[in-house]
Amino acid sequence: MRFLVFLLVFSPFALADESGLLRCRAIQDPAARLACYDALAVPAPTPRAVSPQVTSPRAAPAPTPEQFGLERPRFQDQIEAIESTIAGRFDGWGPNDRIRLANGQVWQVADGSSGAHWIENPKVRVRRGMLGAFFLEIEGTNRSPRVQRVQ
């Protein structure tokens, strides 16, 4: 019952003419009743004053590739992925292993997975996933461990 009262109070029909609602409710034919409800005039919302956009002096600058993975989650101006290599021979990874990229970044395996591969100087791509996750795509493999940047 409370839910029904909530819907009536906060629905657009609460702003409509009550006599129109009663008239529409009395119509037996479903299609005609729906047309009656659709024809009810609902007052347009009052326009809100638009304030000019003020740039805050504390606004964070756009992230750089060097900051990728260390920045706080934001929903705009995000780099979707970075590319680098793993210098030298790459033997694979295990749970909690740290992988140093040629660009100086260090990423730690965060999902407990492991993989054995013997690749020289593989190209890698660290891409952003859902809910703040990052995945390491390694050339020559078909698996992408979830990683977190530690340095």
pLDDT in tens, 91-132: 999 999 999 999 999 999 999 899 998 999 999 999 998 888
Q: What pTM did the predictor assign?
A: 0.52
Least confident of 7-11, 114-118, 140-144: 7-11
Give 61's pLDDT tier (boundaries 50, 70, 90): low
b or e along 56-90 (b: 16 or more beta carbons within 10 Å of the residue's beta carbon)?
eeeeeeebeeeebbeeeeeeeeebeebebbbeeeb
Do 147 and 126 touch, CB atoms closer than 8 A?
Answer: yes
122 token code pair:
């593989």
pLDDT in tens, 81-99: 999 999 999 999 999 999 9
